[in-house]
């Protein structure tokens, strides 16, 4: 029948990629991530109380963090959809739960497949090539985990040494580090194309406008939603520019 010819046939390796056993094997990894998040949240709440923070401030901080995570989560979700189509649901779920960077995962999978002469989306990808791609993604991200595991405990000593014992400089150094991290991630996007430049510019202006409005009128909920709202505005502007103008450079 003619309609059967129109139905796309999934590559053979996708049977393995979406198998029940692979779902079960990734479940412990994701469970550890969720357990870590619960432990960190509990520790942060208890430490905040020991520092003298009120219940209201703790709840405000929790809501601010939750809302601020919406923007990055949307980007991760969009990337997960692309990753599911190439490496299957279980591996995409596991990898983005641990690392959360599609910008790393897709090139790593491509590198693994290229050793067998394949590329993402090709027909005829073998199970061996798929397994190599998964190993490339897993081992390639191990470095970040090792640095976090063995280096995080020394960060406080480094920050104290940089401030030279001046407690007033510590929040300034922390703020500067955050600004530097955001600037590092944005530096590659600003020159990537017109949609990216527009998204960064409008998102930044939206953030400044929302914070100015929140400070001038003392609107607490607006401070909490400012980052998430600015990310959403920037994302929408980038999509509009891409659809209407495309990339001019």
* Structural tokens at position 117: 């002469």
Q: Tell me what pLDDT residue 132 has.
A: 92
Under 8 Å between Cβ of 169 and 163: yes
Q: Which helix (H) or strand (E) holds 63?
A: helix 55-68
Do 53 and 209 contact (CB within 8 A), yes or no? no
Question: Domain-by-domain residue ranges, the chain?
Answer: 11-140, 191-249
pLDDT of residue 4: 45
Residues 190, 202: Cα–Cα separation, whole Å: 12
With vertex at residue 105, the alpha carbon angle to CA 140 and CA 126, rounded to the nearest 5 degrees, is 90
Q: Which residues of the chain have pLDDT under 70?
A: 1-11, 71-72, 75, 100, 159, 163, 165, 224
Q: Which tokens is 78 given?
A: 């969009």
73-106 pLDDT, tens digit each:
776 777 777 788 888 889 988 888 887 677 778 8
Per-residue pLDDT at 158: 75
pLDDT tens digits, residue range 175-184?
787 788 778 7
């Amino acid at each position: 029948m003619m309609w059967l010819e129109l139905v796309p046939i999934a590559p053979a390796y996708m049977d393995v990629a979406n198998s029940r056993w692979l779902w079960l094997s990734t479940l412990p990894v994701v469970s550890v991530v969720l357990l870590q998040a619960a432990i960190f949240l509990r520790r942060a709440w208890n430490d905040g109380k020991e520092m003298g923070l009120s219940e209201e401030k703790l709840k405000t901080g929790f809501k601010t963090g939750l809302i601020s995570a919406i923007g990055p989560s949307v980007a991760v979700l969009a990337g997960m959809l692309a990753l599911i189509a190439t490496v299957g649901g279980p591996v995409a779920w596991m990898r983005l739960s641990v690392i959360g960077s599609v910008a790393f995962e897709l090139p790593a999978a491509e590198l693994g497949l290229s050793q067998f002469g394949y590329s993402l989306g090709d027909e005829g990808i073998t199970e061996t090539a798929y397994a190599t791609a998964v190993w490339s993604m897993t081992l390639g991200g191990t470095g970040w985990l090792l640095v976090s595991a063995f280096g995080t405990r020394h960060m406080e000593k480094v920050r104290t040494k940089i401030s030279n014992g001046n407690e007033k400089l510590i929040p300034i150094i922390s703020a500067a580090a955050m600004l530097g991290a955001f600037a590092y991630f944005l530096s590659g996007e600003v020159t990537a194309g017109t949609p990216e430049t527009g998204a960064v510019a409008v998102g930044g202006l939206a953030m400044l406008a929302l914070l100015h409005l929140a400070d001038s009128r003392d609107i607490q909920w607006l401070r909490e939603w400012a980052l998430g709202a600015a990310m959403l505005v920037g994302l929408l502007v980038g999509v509009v520019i891409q659809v209407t103008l495309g990339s001019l450079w």
